[in-house]
Structure 1
Amino acid sequence: MDIEVKVNKPNPILSKEKVVIYNRNVDVKSTIKALETGNNVLITEFYNNGSILIKELQQHLSEKLPNKSFKEQREFRLVYHKLSNLILIEIENHQLLVKKSPNIGWFEKLYPDTKDLLLTYPQVQGLNSSWQWYKNGITIPVLRNKIHPYYGVYFPTRFEHLELFDNWLKRYSGPKKTAIDVGIGSGILAMQLVKHGFQKVLGTDTNSNAIVGLKESMGTTKLSRKIELDFASLFGKWNQPTELIIFNPPWLPETRNSENLDEAIYYNKSLFNNFFEAAKERLLPDGKLVLIFSNLAQIIGLSKENPIEQEIANGGRFQLERCFTKNVKKGSEKTKRDLNWRNKEEVELWVLTHK
């Protein structure tokens, strides 16, 4: 990497002036009223007091706000997000200043020069979950070793698309000198490419944490000599044509209702056209362009059209060699969410070549 890449992290709060104290001896209803009037609430005594207040807040809002239609659910989430992020917890010398609290190594890694600070309770919950994944690692069926995702980096919890890609790589008989992985994320696709014999994988990402995390996890291992990184959109500095381009784009189009847009999940209107235009210049004449996608947007009604099909039909740049699909496993019966659409969901692997 040519420039220093800064990590994205929650902004610390450095002052605890004008906060309402909450512990188990304080009336929870009056505390929620304090939140609704815009006051910060500081969790004291026990870490779990934050969870208790969060649960009471959710119950209070569910009784106060309708939460059935999409519009109502969105309004509920907005109000909950606003109020829950007024709940603070104190960190002193990189440790939570309450009893029976988890040890979260991110405090020291992300805030090396700030030992004492305040964060919101939901932020700390997220940091705690992320630390467990990072520390313990996550088993990915298509890889030999666990991955240790860095804070703020998306990683898959379902693996059908990775299995589809792995099966395709087993049958791939083209050259394996270089490949470009656009949006490398937690690095799984790049590691699959290395596993199947590619000499060099060039990866980009617009999430700085993905670049920092992969650089740290690879260290000076053989993998670090096989995978090169660039903090950039689309192809970044990789201008040399290659025999294989891999792209696992977001699967849902952004909508006017997409608050706090997550670029790992939602794509904007220009993404695919910009990608195909740039890919045309970077794919060797006999090279292959592989996109990993899903019909999710169609079956939940967010889009009537598949952007890859649109490119094949109207783009004039690429033609279809083959499309492979794989059914997605049914959702857990334990979840309260309606996941009946999972019965119709398929992941897709599109192989395109120059026209």
Structure 2
Amino acid sequence: MSANPTIEWTEDDGEARSAHWRSETGTPAPRRVVIADDTTTADTAFRLASEGTGLLWRGDFQNARQLLQAMARRVDRPPKKKKAPPATLIDAFNQHRQAQSQRARTLNAVLIPVEADYGIALRRAPDVRAACEQAYGPADGEPSVASLRELQGLVGAYEWRKRGVEIPALGDRIHPHYGVFSPVRGEYLDLVEQAPLPSTSLAFDIGTGTGVLAALLAKRGVERVVATDQDARALACARENIERLGYAKRVKVVEANLFPEGRAPLIVCNPPWLPARPSSALEYAIYDPESQMLKGFLNGLAAHLEPGGEGWLILSDLAEHIGLRTRDELLALFEQAGLTVLDKLSVRPRHPKASDTEDPLHAARTREMTSLWRLAARNNQAAR
């Protein structure tokens, strides 16, 4: 057996069983597991899941999907007694995250046995082997158990990777790998497409993810781009996208914690926008605990800019409207890092949540702006 976590249960005939527990979201294995099948009602499943019990499915796969949908309706049902509205937006943010976390824990309780080759030996089960291999890596020859909800996510990501995401600024598609944040918010790409380039000789793309910004800089005529990331999935994803788009001779993807060696006349970074603690590994593209990446980029920028160079920081101000960070605190970070603001280009978001009145953070989203801050090192201003 490997060092992977193990999940244990007892079959209906009294036989004790165990298998690897798989969770790319970092969800811990349930401490108690019971067998569930086509006779299990949604009310029973919801009650057990709410208590933290896992339900290992032994029935028809499509019935498990229907059960999960029924449980989701129960989770999302408005409470009989209305709660007082949160006093502040940061309270609304914290309550929303708590509710989403509880929702995920409850719905992740429906478990599916996965064979050693990633097959699923249940009636009417789809073939998820290719999707599992992309997310988990080659099969290790051991049976495992995963939540149905996570398996659905794997299949969705697999299909999304095949189709790709249309990027109008590129005039092409980006194909995100599982676990790599997809560039679905196109407004920040429009800003990068429109901002005046200080140079076309060299650029650094810090935290490249899918490689979309590196590709866009190459498309704009930057002769050489060094794109960095420290996540193995992101590095593989960026390299594949850059190769497919035909920019491999001009874009080099390297493993690094923020900056590569040397200096550049243009350094671009799109860090996670919200200074909060991620609740899973997949949330690190959204939440930047204690603004670690933002501060790391700003504090190292001056030392890596060529004289007269610019750093482009792409950042939403949603955190400011929620109350997670103030504008004065952001400007103070610039000041402490020895940076000055040359210009700021801004655009309103176009994503569906911006106009969703049912969103708990609607009041903040209606005021949100996404900005590209053009920054320079104070001691380099004479070279401009």
**CA 141–335 in structure 1, closer or farther in 2 if over 3 Å, else same:** farther
Counterpart of 1:184 in structure 2 is: 208
Deviation of residue 308 (structure 1)?
4.4
| C-alpha displacement of 1:326 | 1.2
Give the aligned partner of residue 55 of structure 1: 69
Asked whether 1:300 is paired with 2:325, we answer no
Change beyond 3 A, Cα 1:111–1:264: closer
Note if contact 2:215-2:242 (Cα within 8 Å) is conserved in structure 1: no
Partner of 2:156: 129
- Cα deviation per residue 1:148-168 (whole Å; 9 max; x = unaligned)? 101100012221111111011
Paired residue secondary structure (2:272): coil
- Partner Cα distance (2:51, 2:373) in 1: 52
Question: How far did 1:36 drift?
Answer: 4.6
Question: Which aligned pairs between 1:64-143 and structure 2 lie closer than 5 A?
Answer: 69=86, 70=92, 72-92=95-115, 93-104=117-128, 105-109=130-134, 110-114=136-140, 116-143=143-170
How far 1:300 sits from its partner (Å)?
2.3
Which blocks of at least 5 consecutive residues in structure 2 are unaligned? 12-32, 87-91, 379-384
Task: Name the CA shift for 1:153/1:335 in 2 (closer, same or farther; >3 Å).
Answer: farther
Matched AA of 1:320: V
Q: Are 1:253 and 2:253 an aligned pair?
A: no
Q: Distance in 2 between matches of 1:148 and 1:220?
A: 10
Aligned equivalents of 2:50, 2:100: Cα separation in 1: 15
Is contact 1:13–1:119 with CA below 8 Å preserved after alignment? Answer: no
| Aligned 1:127-206 pairs, distance under 5 A | 127-168=154-195, 171-172=196-197, 174-206=198-230
Give the distance between the partners of 1:134 and 1:12, measured in 2 at CA: 28
Moved more, 68-77 or 260-269: 68-77
Matched-pair identity in %: 25
Distance 2:81 2:45 in 1: 18
* 1:15 and 1:118 in contact (8 A); partners too: no
Distance in 2 (alpha carbons) for counterparts of 1:191 and 1:149? 14
Q: Quote the residue 2:338 is aligned against.
A: 317
- Residue equivalent to 2:25: none
Q: TM-score, normalised by structure 1?
A: 0.82
Write the distance in 1 (CA, Å) between the matches of 2:98 and 2:366. 28
Q: In the TM superposition, what is the alpha-carbon distance from 1:102 to its structure 2 partner?
A: 4.0
TM-aligned CA deviation for residue 37 of structure 1 = 5.0
Q: Tell me the distance in 2 between the aligned counterparts of 1:272 and 1:309.
A: 12
SS in structure 1 opposite 2:173? Answer: coil
Where does the alignment leave 5 or more consecutive residues of structure 1 unmatched? 1-10
| Residue in structure 1 matched with residue 368 of structure 2 by the alignment | 345
Cα distance in structure 1, aligned partners of 2:363 and 2:62? 34
How far does residue 133 in structure 1 lie from its aligned partner after superposition?
0.7
Cα deviation, residue 243, structure 1: 1.0
| Cα displacement (A) at 1:350 | 1.0
The letter of the residue matching 1:259 is S
Distance 1:287 1:120 in 2: 49
Tell me how far 1:279 sits from its aligned partner. Answer: 1.4
Change (3 A) 1:139 1:46: farther
**In 2: Cα distance, 1:334 partner to 1:319 partner:** 36
TM-score (norm 2): 0.77
RMSD after superposition: 3.0
Gap change, CA 1:99 and 1:233, over 3 Å in 2? same
Q: Is the 8 A contact 2:211 2:237 kept in 1?
A: no
Q: Provide the C-alpha distance between the structure 1 equivalents of 2:308 and 2:194, rounded to a whole number of angstroms.
A: 21
Against the structure 1 CA distance between its residues 129 and 232, is the aligned structure 2 distance closer, same or farther, given a 3 Å change threshold? same
- Distance apart, 1:195 and its partner CA: 0.4
